Structure 1
Amino acid sequence: MKFAFIFCLLFVSFLVFPQDNNVSLASSNAANGNVQPPPELDNFINSGSVQNAPGQTLSVAEQEESILPFGASLFSHASLNQRRSANNPNYQLAPGDKVSVQLWGAVNQSAVHIVDNQYNLFIPNVGPIKLENTLASDLNGVVSQKIKQVYTDNVNIYVNLLASTPVGVLVSGGVMIPGEYAGTSNDSVLHFLKRAGGIDAARGSYRDVKIIRQGNVVQQVDLYEFLTKGRLASHSFKDGDVVLVSPRGSTITVRSDLGNTMYEFSHDTITGQQMLMLSKPDVSVSHIAVKGVRNRKPMSQYVTREAFSRLVLADGDELLFNEDLRPQVISVELSGSYLGPSYHAVSSSTKLVELLDHVEVNPEQADVSSVYIIRESVKEQQQALLEASLSRLERSVYTAPASSDGEARLRSQEAQLVAQFIERARQIEPVGKVVVSLNGKPANIRLEQSDTVVIPAKSDLVNISGEVMLPQAVVFANDASIDDYVSWAGGFTDRANQDDVVVIHANGATSVIKLSRNGWFSAASDYKLQAGDQVLILPKVDEKLMQSVKDITQIIFQIAVAANVALD
């Protein structure tokens, strides 16, 4: 019994997790445009699933549910339920139509006449007027000509089609709700398809819709002509006409950032160029992954857009449009003290010194020896490191053991305080500073997209902030010590960390100055500040109340360096 249970588990796991039989990606071939796909496309090419978002992968079933045929929105809009009130000028008159005829002058007569089953309109003293195959636009001329044969002089005539006869049209084939639906003869084929619930996405064709009258196809409609070119041929329906939606033809599925769409084509194959014209991908799409079956074997390629246009695609192929080109031109912003434009479009290989050579500054105002960069990628990295530290602190506090009830209460109070601290810390955004100026000379590093190059203004001040009584800016004094500046700011608060002082320099660099326990300087007592420096006094963590003093202190310093903030 035990072995039978194990065998069942193995059999179920084989069904649920079948082996992947897809062949590996073809080797790179520059002549055919084949290139090595980026790692994030492996899911699409090899496993049959596509990455939807960072950390989230759609299953095959979820992907199929999200794929809609091109043109599916035609039958989702409520306005299609409304019929057009205006008569179609190409409408052919039919039995039951109501026609208003008015005569004035030598003869005064006004009446509404109905077209009989023999397509005749009978007018007293005039007789029957044959209207078979007569268009609505020709009605006035045909009836007036017949009347003038009887009333030859001084008679004015006005003829108007009041209402066309309702018709019943049969809708069948690949629609959601086949059946007979009422409408008017001048309704479009879209109206009757909408009444039938629209085209069945799994079975019906958007490219082959037939209108049949008495067993003969009188018109064939390609809805793609309407979707792509705005062309929809008019048709005058008659009672008993049939709208037949043919079975769905060959299809290709396209996946992109805009969503998943299934396109239908009328032949067994279609070229990549035709597919590009039909799907109209964004100009930023540079590469296309193609997955399908050729000669009963799985096939996959990753090609450039140019090479894709020369490919021949087949029924069932799946495409993934991808932006896989590095930008050749990047935009860089200037901030601080400079002259001229604030944004510069430069080559992706441009370095910092090359840019600065083209930036005009006022040497009396700009501190060109303290240039630094604010970079988005560094900001994201600092944010990730801070979040990792906060998560580690959170785990350590909530999992700390307690040996007694009193210690458990103490740990609970500590956890509440730490939770408040973590919540505030997560709201702080790092600056993303990159220190590039050392010894007064900027390093010639390569610039990145969206970099902000900061040229600080020369300053004669030193800012003192954080845990001091009176945070303020003080005029730089060449012979003054850190202790002097703290005294000018009112001295330390009761919560101040008097052992370590953070100094943020004009070039973005950060220094931590160690002080002695009694407040006097130790080995760093001879440290001299520079004009433009910022002195940041950090808060201390009470060792009597907090178990995680080391972790919290580390995070406070981390925030001070990354965001120039003294978080209490």
Structure 2
Amino acid sequence: MNIFNQSLKLLSSIAIASLTLIAAFNLNAAEQMSLSQLESAGTSQSQLPNAALESGTFSKQGRSGTLLPGEMSAAELLPSSEVGLPPPYGANLFAGGYESERLDGLNDDYTIAPGDKVSIWLWGAINQSEVVTVDNQGNLFITNVGPVYVADVKASQLNSYVSNKIKEVYKKSVEIYVNLLTATPVSVYISGSVIRPGQYAGIASDSILYYLKRAGGIDSERGSYRSIKVLRNNKVIQNIDLYDFILTGYLPKFNFKDNDVILVERQKATVVVSGSVRAPFRFEFLENQATGSQLAKFALPLAKVSHVGVVGDRADGPFSVYLPYNEFKSFELKDGDRLIFNDDIRAQVIDIQIDGSYLGPSYFAVNKNTRLHDLLAHIQIDKNLADYQSIYIQRKSVAKKQKEMIDQSLERLERSVFTAPASSDGEAKIRAEEGKMILEFTERARKIVPLGKVIIADQGQVANIRLEQGDVIHIPAKTDLIHIGGEVLMPQALVYNAEATIDDYIAWAGGYSERANYEQIMVIHPNGMIDLDAYGTLKPGDQILVLPKVDTKFLQSVKDITQIIYQIAIAANVAT
């Protein structure tokens, strides 16, 4: 009874876990929306799911990098509607560690402040050297000269300014050199929507980015990257828009003083951008609304963009609209809008590649309705070199379908092996060994890349099929060789002999290998057609492929494996 109860609990746990997985899968599927659904939305008033306007997945940035014990992540703190949004435009400004690579503050624009140390040398009629500290009144007290007021003098002008003052006392025969040695640290307060507000020490000439980085950067969910103020004595002395720095590199230069306050204001109206743009971020407006053209300056849509989908809320409720890009430029965007930039105009021209034996260009741009014969009329060949009656096409869609069919067959094979019941311990061991061999086979088989051949020529007749984007038209070269591969001892190419049979060519290639299946020999013709008749007529350019034999003594799924081997041989012209 205890064993029965334990088994029942185990089955219940498995069922609950399975239901959880199924629920999670259904949820993910429900959150996804295809582009065609967005296109069909048009100007309907139904609100689209958030996932419809997100391109890919965005890693959510925490508000303070490494979480402390017991601290919640940003994704946990935010409302569910905010989770999964892309980072704000400019968030990577605070990703580096440049706050630890600061300068010493002695740049040309630095202004002298109380506490700075200045070195003064005089030589000639009098020899004198001393290091003087700027006092609280902004003066340097120089021996035999007296106080010299230097507060707010730029470092680049300090030498000439002090020298002129000294020359008022020593009018001739004295040379003077003045140099700023050290700059006095200042204490700056950082407030508003930053990660770690508080008081920070730095140099007066340090940039505002340095101080913001010291405070952990701007809070990406609450803080504004466009409205940052510097206050001195409760008055605004500088307004900073970091978008100007990101776009043009412009950052206003000024010197901080003790007790200055950096105030990062609340985030203004924002919109989320995804799709065919170079900058898929969350963008902030200076006002409560902006036009599409103003947003495009930051988002940088790709040249192929033709339409823009907008989802949001207005006074009369949720709405969605799908606009041509030209109309979107004058469209008024509001806070919370979500945008997807889309290339929704189908290409009228397709690219076709020519391969094999031909003359002239290898790429052609043709109308999407072009058929094969129309293009062949413009391809030059040398009839003595090109086997133009054996043309075939390599098509990506066909290769993809072949790959899908092989993968499906491999999955069925794995299921049949790993779910087969075992009636005894001995049979279970055999199944385990068979499973290892099947896994090795399927692993190798999945690496096969199908060619996607489309057979269009037979007995000198070439089908006039419609071309597709990315087609490769292969014109085989005339050859006098026969290629032998697969399960032979010495795969190689041999000169065509009209009187030789398949057995002769295999004998000339060293004969069959130990794994060869004598009854599974394929002949692949230059036009891509495959002949399973081992005694068929050979022609120059044919490929003889000897397939491997599946050992029936150990493997139960011989039929399935044989079918997969045939699929691979046909799709990729190789033996696995």
Q: Per the alignment, do residues 85 and 349 of structure 1 end up closer, same or farther by CA in structure 2, a change over 3 Å counting?
A: farther
Unaligned runs of 5+ in 2: 1-25, 61-74
Task: Give the 5 Å matches for 1:272-283.
Answer: 272-283=292-303
Equivalent residue in structure 2 for 1:438, among 455, 458, 471: 458
- Equivalent pairs: percent with the same residue? 48
SS of equivalent to 2:48: helix
Partner residue of 2:235? 216
Partner residue of 2:51? 49
Residues 168-224 of structure 1, C-alpha deviations (whole Å, 9 max, x = no match): 111111111111111111111111111111111122111111111111111111111
Distance, in Å, in 1 between the alignment partners of 2:511 and 2:238 is 92
Partner residue of 2:330? 310
Distance, in Å, in 2 between the alignment partners of 1:54 and 1:156 is 69
Task: Give the 5 Å matches for 1:481-560.
Answer: 482=502, 496-513=516-533, 527-543=536-552, 545-560=554-569
Equivalent residue in structure 2 for 1:466, among 486, 491, 507: 486
Partner residue of 2:421? 401
Give the conservation status (yes or no) of the 8 Å contact 1:35–1:303: no
Partner residue of 2:14? none
Determine whether 1:199 maps to 2:215.
Answer: no
Partner residue of 1:368? 388
Deviation for aligned residue 1:112: 2.0
Deviation for aligned residue 1:386: 0.6
Distance, in Å, in 2 between the alignment partners of 1:170 and 1:55 is 36
SS of equivalent to 1:125: coil
Partner residue of 1:245? 264
Distance, in Å, in 1 between the alignment partners of 2:262 and 2:281 is 25
Task: Give the 5 Å matches for 1:45-194.
Answer: 46-50=48-52, 64-65=83-84, 67-194=86-213
Q: CA RMSD in A?
A: 3.5
Q: Per the alignment, do residues 51 and 500 of structure 1 end up closer, same or farther by CA in structure 2, a change over 3 Å counting?
A: farther
Distance, in Å, in 1 between the alignment partners of 2:39 and 2:185 is 60
Distance, in Å, in 2 between the alignment partners of 1:423 and 1:474 is 32
Q: Per the alignment, do residues 473 and 229 of structure 1 end up closer, same or farther by CA in structure 2, a change over 3 Å counting?
A: closer
Give the conservation status (yes or no) of the 8 Å contact 2:386–2:475: yes
Deviation for aligned residue 1:446: 3.0
Q: TM-score, normalised by structure 2?
A: 0.81
Q: Per the alignment, do residues 489 and 117 of structure 1 end up closer, same or farther by CA in structure 2, a change over 3 Å counting?
A: closer
Distance, in Å, in 2 between the alignment partners of 1:349 and 1:314 is 43
Partner residue of 1:332? 352
Give the conservation status (yes or no) of the 8 Å contact 2:59–2:84: no
Residues 297-327 of structure 1, C-alpha deviations (whole Å, 9 max, x = no match): 1111223332321211011111223344434
Deviation for aligned residue 1:494: 6.5
Determine whether 1:322 maps to 2:346.
Answer: no
Range that drifts further, 490-499 or 300-309: 490-499
Partner residue of 2:412? 392
Amino acid in the other structure paired with 1:552: I
Q: Per the alignment, do residues 62 and 377 of structure 1 end up closer, same or farther by CA in structure 2, a change over 3 Å counting?
A: farther
Range that drifts further, 324-333 or 110-119: 324-333
Range that drifts further, 226-235 or 278-287: 278-287
Deviation for aligned residue 1:469: 6.0
SS of equivalent to 1:353: helix
Give the conservation status (yes or no) of the 8 Å contact 1:49–1:57: no
Deviation for aligned residue 1:98: 2.0
Deviation for aligned residue 1:279: 1.8
Amino acid in the other structure paired with 1:295: A
Give the conservation status (yes or no) of the 8 Å contact 1:45–1:289: no
Residues 35-78 of structure 1, C-alpha deviations (whole Å, 9 max, x = no match): 5479xxx9x96222248799999999597355222111222211
Deviation for aligned residue 1:489: 5.4
Distance, in Å, in 2 between the alignment partners of 1:54 and 1:188 is 35
Distance, in Å, in 1 between the alignment partners of 2:494 and 2:96 is 67
Q: Per the alignment, do residues 129 and 510 of structure 1 end up closer, same or farther by CA in structure 2, a change over 3 Å counting?
A: same
Unaligned runs of 5+ in 1: 1-16, 29-33, 516-524
Give the conservation status (yes or no) of the 8 Å contact 1:35–1:304: no
Deviation for aligned residue 1:150: 1.9
Distance, in Å, in 1 between the alignment partners of 2:102 and 2:510 is 81
Give the conservation status (yes or no) of the 8 Å contact 1:81–1:191: no
Q: Per the alignment, do residues 456 and 218 of structure 1 end up closer, same or farther by CA in structure 2, a change over 3 Å counting?
A: same
Q: Per the alignment, do residues 170 and 86 of structure 1 end up closer, same or farther by CA in structure 2, a change over 3 Å counting?
A: closer
Q: Per the alignment, do residues 562 and 148 of structure 1 end up closer, same or farther by CA in structure 2, a change over 3 Å counting?
A: same
Q: Per the alignment, do residues 359 and 116 of structure 1 end up closer, same or farther by CA in structure 2, a change over 3 Å counting?
A: same
Distance, in Å, in 2 between the alignment partners of 1:225 and 1:438 is 66
Range that drifts further, 238-247 or 51-60: 51-60
Q: Per the alignment, do residues 54 and 489 of structure 1 end up closer, same or farther by CA in structure 2, a change over 3 Å counting?
A: farther
Q: Per the alignment, do residues 457 and 177 of structure 1 end up closer, same or farther by CA in structure 2, a change over 3 Å counting?
A: same
Partner residue of 1:449? 469
SS of equivalent to 2:263: strand
Deviation for aligned residue 1:135: 3.1
Give the conservation status (yes or no) of the 8 Å contact 1:370–1:456: yes
Task: Give the 5 Å matches for 1:220-235.
Answer: 220-235=239-254
Give the conservation status (yes or no) of the 8 Å contact 2:189–2:200: yes
Deviation for aligned residue 1:555: 1.5
Residues 149-174 of structure 1, C-alpha deviations (whole Å, 9 max, x = no match): 22222222222222222111111111
Give the conservation status (yes or no) of the 8 Å contact 1:174–1:247: yes
Deviation for aligned residue 1:79: 1.5
Partner residue of 2:11? none
Q: Displaced runs of 4+ in structure 1, greater than 6 A?
A: 51-60
Amino acid in the other structure paired with 1:534: Q
Task: Give the 5 Å matches for 1:20-39.
Answer: 36=40
SS of equivalent to 2:522: strand
Q: Per the alignment, do residues 495 and 138 of structure 1 end up closer, same or farther by CA in structure 2, a change over 3 Å counting?
A: closer
Distance, in Å, in 2 between the alignment partners of 1:374 and 1:428 is 16
